């Protein structure tokens, strides 16, 4: 419905700022952007975010910034008055006002209650002890992350969706985790016993203990949680208890207002409560006797409510059929409908024990009434569509279990299979987006990429399990005009992208090159020169201290710690910390040049000395002599830290504002040995005159009177690019912390051989700034992972810093292990 010009706006007040409320606003603003003045009261002190993606945040696969649905800019653009952290405690239906905990009163013409649900706390002794948390919002996740940062044991009570996701996330964070579940099998409401058996095997394979048929009797501890006692007498020592046993609609406010409430707030098909001026939506609602705890029904309700508020004539919400997916990376699981034992049913079962695949489709009168898929869920949405439409599958029964691609006896490719779906077939279950909505958005708005489709329709923007289908729709709709440039496979050996491979290395806990190639179905027996170095780097980054560096997966330069030249000889570059050297080091270099008759000795742009023309057979002896003089490899060949260029700074220069040389030395000693996707060069300039050329480095520091300006993403090679300002810090310690955190973020997110400048352009400078400059918790977590990686190659340099030493001690050979070890002949 189009808004009437000059019409007086109505006041719409929304209680709750979760996913249901957010979707109502999205739908309403698309239909009638000027109809209402909107005020939103949110109990949480933050904007709207995707709660179904809390599990990847807990596991470390996503950050808070990655799961935002509506940013501050969105609220401002749509003129929404967001009252974050402001809890409404009363509704006066007669006066049509709401009152907050602080006493503020807000009038409304129309009110929406979207207060969601509350987690269930089982009534056992000790349930109120510190260390007992629920799993419902970002605050709960932060409590779990704080606990996980200290290590120790965790007990998760509840083996349903949320419980298993919490357990997987805590295990990935390093906690020893046990799941305690009352019922005989996991996820008994969503899975049959066969699928639950496979799921338990997969969970236990991650090192998580699973206790089924176990009832919690008490939580023990004096001042905080110490253990959990089961009713069979077993005691489980623990530092954290996560209760994930279910939810119930949050109806307290509606009850106080004397609205009709049963299990939830009772609404009609237009989401209207027993008061004509008050609507309710989401998990707090009871519709036709049903309460929903999944996101798809909430979005169905939101669409109906928004259309009603816009003044459109709509049929109303009639309820939802739901499906289930588990958001544990590497676990493929889908279920929908009725698959309980008994009754007059028929079923088709496929088992593949070697591949861990189990499929079961339950029929009644040649119509699907339930489906359970484990290990291969590609046809889940197709079965779900047949179930919802009550399609007679008699003609396709013999090939039904093989999936959509085999109907009619001919295997369709993925693009053709998706193209064959009807327009009302659901593609994205999380956001309730059908095929027709996606194809219409592509053609009407000229969308050409997956990100375009996500931004316009939200398809594939939540759990991501429908990504392949969305890409197939792009290909089917655009034909020859579609280029999946954003999804380029690593190499000819695999169809997976760099990011997908990295994700599987973590989720499947793959810790060797052969394991990656076997588990990810590499097309070649031993890879190629493109993928092997990348895999070696990804494994080093994922499992510092556990994965043994594979020399044969490195380029020749890295294997011999020298750069090969056009005549087959090599150049050797000893490290000079921050460009500083001593007479003894210079003599040692001169002695090596004389002894091995090295023809050229040159000063490099990185303030070091390059010995050019070294024969390969002399390299071991050259390095042995340099090592004996205390000189280590400058890693001039490295996909990692190479140099930290400095000027003389305040110690000598009349313009210097800070000790740039000292900071450069500290940075180089701290970061030495840190492998990266590509070469990384730093510069530290003692004043804005920038003699160290810091504004064309991957990371640069400009010293100023008030502290240090940190710059990133410069380049001075084939691609010349001036740095972007990351931010300002006051102290040397802060400069080292922020730079190390940035380096770790780059290491974890960039593709192999992707330079810093290219990664920042792709990731977005605002995202990087937010992660490093604004999010202290995220920055410290990145720093901790960087330190862990550094400890894997040498002793902890931060220990010296914490002890107040002015610069880090360094032991050349023993502590850098293979990174600077003398190469074998």
Binding residues: 647, 653, 687, 691
Instruction: Say if residues 156 and 170 touch (Cβ distance below 8 Å).
Output: yes
Binding residues for [4Fe-4S] cluster: 647, 653, 687, 691
Q: Which one-letter DSSP state was computed for residue 49?
A: B
Q: How far is CA 217 from CA 220, 228, 231, 235, 241, in A?
A: 10, 8, 5, 10, 13
Q: Tokens standing for 250?
A: 């949050």
- Tell me how long the chain is: 825
Q: Which residue has the tokens 């699907």?
A: 368
CA distance 282 to 271: 10
499 CB-near residues (< 8 Å, 6+ apart): 751
Q: Which strand ranges, in their side-by-side order, compose the sheet holding 346-352?
A: 323-325, 333-337, 367-374, 357-364, 346-352
Instruction: Say if residues 116 and 284 touch (Cβ distance below 8 Å).
Output: yes
Instruction: Specify the DSSP element, H or E, that contains 325.
Output: strand 323-325
Instruction: Say if residues 302 and 284 touch (Cβ distance below 8 Å).
Output: no
CA distance 532 to 775: 35
CA distance 818 to 796: 17
Q: Dihedral sign, CA of 64, 54, 509, 355? A: negative
135 CB-near residues (< 8 Å, 6+ apart): 54, 119, 141, 144, 162, 163, 165, 166, 242, 243, 244
CA distance 333 to 375: 6
DSSP per-residue string spanning 782-814: HHHHHHHHHHHHS--HHHHHHTT-SS----TTT
Instruction: Say if residues 405 and 360 touch (Cβ distance below 8 Å).
Output: no
Q: What is the dihedral of CA 26, 429, 269, 80, to 10 degrees?
A: -20
530 CB-near residues (< 8 Å, 6+ apart): 490, 491, 492, 493
With vertex at residue 749, the alpha carbon angle to CA 745 and CA 752, rounded to the nearest 5 degrees, is 120
Binding residues for siroheme: 691
- Write the burial class of residue 238 (CB in 10 Å: 0-12 exposed, 13-18 middle, 19+ buried): buried
Instruction: Say if residues 691 and 723 touch (Cβ distance below 8 Å).
Output: no
Q: How far is CA 632 from CA 133, 160, 598, 627, 812, in A?
A: 50, 54, 18, 6, 6
CA distance 36 to 792: 58
Q: Tokens standing for 489?
A: 């496979």
SS3 at position 253 = helix
The region, left, alpha or beta by phi > 0 then psi within -120 to 50, assigned to residue 338 is: beta
Instruction: Specify the DSSP element, H or E, that contains 628.
Output: helix 619-628
CA distance 358 to 380: 12
Number of H helices, E strands in the chain: 25, 40
Which backbone phi and psi does 427 adopt, to 5 degrees? -100, -50
């Amino acid at each position: 419905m189009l808004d009437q010009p000059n019409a007086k706006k109505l006041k719409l007040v929304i209680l709750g700022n979760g996913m249901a409320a957010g979707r109502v606003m999205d739908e309403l603003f698309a239909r009638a952007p000027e109809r209402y003045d909107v005020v939103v009261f949110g109990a949480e002190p933050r904007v709207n975010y995707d709660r179904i993606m809390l599990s990847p945040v807990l596991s470390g696969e996503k950050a808070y910034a990655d799961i935002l649905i509506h940013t501050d800019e969105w609220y401002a653009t749509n003129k929404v008055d967001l009252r974050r952290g402001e809890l409404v405690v009363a509704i006066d239906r007669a006066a049509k006002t709401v009152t907050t905990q602080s006493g503020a009163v807000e009038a409304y013409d129309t009110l929406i209650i979207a207060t969601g649900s509350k987690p269930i706390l089982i009534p056992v002794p000790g349930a109120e002890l510190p260390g007992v948390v629920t799993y419902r919002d970002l605050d709960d996740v932060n409590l779990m992350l704080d606990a996980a940062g200290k290590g120790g044991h965790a007990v998760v009570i509840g083996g349903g969706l949320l419980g298993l996701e919490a357990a997987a996330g805590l295990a990935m964070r390093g906690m020893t985790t046990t799941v305690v579940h009352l019922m005989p099998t996991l996820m008994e409401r969503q899975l049959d016993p066969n699928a639950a058996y496979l799921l338990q095997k997969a969970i236990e394979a991650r090192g998580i203990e699973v206790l089924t048929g176990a009832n919690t009797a008490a939580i023990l501890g004096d001042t905080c949680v110490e253990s959990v006692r089961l009713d069979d007498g077993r005691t489980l020592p623990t530092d954290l208890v996560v209760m994930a046993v279910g939810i119930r609609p949050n109806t307290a406010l509606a009850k106080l207002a004397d609205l009709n409430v049963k299990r939830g707030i009772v609404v009609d098909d237009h989401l209207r409560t027993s008061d004509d001026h008050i609507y309710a939506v989401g998990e707090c609602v009871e519709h036709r006797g049903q309460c929903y705890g999944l996101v798809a029904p909430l979005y169905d309700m939101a669409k109906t409510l928004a259309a009603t508020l816009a003044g459109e004539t709509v049929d109303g919400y009639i309820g939802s059929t739901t499906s289930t997916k588990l958001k544990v990376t590497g676990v493929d699981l889908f279920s929908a409908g009725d698959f309980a034992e008994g009754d007059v049913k028929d079923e088709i079962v496929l088992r593949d024990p070697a591949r861990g695949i189990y499929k079961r489709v339950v029929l009644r009168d040649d119509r699907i009434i339930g489906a359970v898929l484990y290990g291969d869920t590609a046809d889940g949405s197709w079965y779900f569509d047949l179930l919802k439409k009550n399609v007679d599958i008699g003609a396709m029964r013999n090939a039904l279990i093989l999936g959509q691609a085999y109907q009619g006896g001919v295997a369709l490719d993925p693009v053709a299979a998706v193209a064959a779906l009807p327009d009302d077939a659901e593609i994205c279950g999380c956001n309730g987006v059908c095929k027709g909505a996606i194809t219409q958005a592509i053609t009407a708005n000229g969308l050409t990429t997956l990100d375009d489709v996500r931004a316009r329709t939200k398809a594939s923007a939540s759990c991501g399990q429908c990504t392949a289908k969305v890409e197939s729709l792009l290909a089917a709709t655009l034909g020859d005009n579609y280029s999946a440039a954003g999804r380029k496979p690593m190499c000819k050996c695999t169809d997976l992208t760099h990011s997908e491979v990295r994700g599987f290395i973590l989720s499947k806990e793959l810790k060797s090159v052969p394991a990656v190639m076997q588990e990810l179905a590499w097309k070649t027996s031993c890879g190629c020169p493109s993928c092997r170095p990348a895999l070696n780097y990804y494994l080093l980054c994922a499992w510092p201290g556990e994965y043994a560096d594979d020399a044969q997966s490195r380029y020749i330069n890295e294997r011999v710690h020298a750069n090969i030249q056009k005549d087959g000889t090599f150049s050797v570059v000893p490290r000079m910390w921050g460009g500083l050297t001593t007479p003894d080091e210079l003599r040692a270099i001169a002695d090596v040049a004389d002894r091995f008759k090295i023809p050229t000795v040159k000063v490099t742009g990185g303030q070091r000395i390059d010995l050019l023309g070294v024969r390969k057979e002399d390299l071991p002896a050259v390095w042995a002599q340099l090592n004996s003089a205390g000189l280590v490899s400058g890693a001039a060949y490295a996909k990692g830290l190479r140099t930290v260029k400095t000027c003389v700074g305040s110690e000598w220069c009349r313009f210097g504002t800070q000790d740039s040389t000292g900071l450069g030395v500290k940075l180089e000693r701290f970061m030495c040995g840190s492998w990266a996707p590509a070469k990384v060069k730093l510069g530290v300039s003692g004043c804005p005159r920038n003699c160290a050329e810091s504004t064309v480095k991957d990371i640069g520091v400009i010293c100023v009177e008030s502290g240090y300006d940190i710059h990133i993403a410069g380049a001075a090679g084939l691609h010349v690019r001036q740095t972007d300002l990351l931010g300002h810090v006051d102290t040397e310690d802060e400069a080292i912390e922020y730079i190390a955190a940035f380096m770790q973020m780059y290491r974890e997110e960039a593709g192999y051989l992707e330079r810093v400048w290219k990664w920042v352009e792709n990731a977005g400078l605002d995202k990087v700034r937010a992660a490093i400059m604004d999010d202290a918790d995220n920055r410290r977590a990145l720093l901790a992972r960087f330190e862990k990686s550094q400890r894997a190659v040498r002793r902890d340099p931060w220990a010296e810093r914490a002890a107040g030493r002015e610069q880090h001690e360094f032991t050349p050979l023993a502590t850098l292990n293979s990174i600077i070890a003398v190469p074998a002949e």
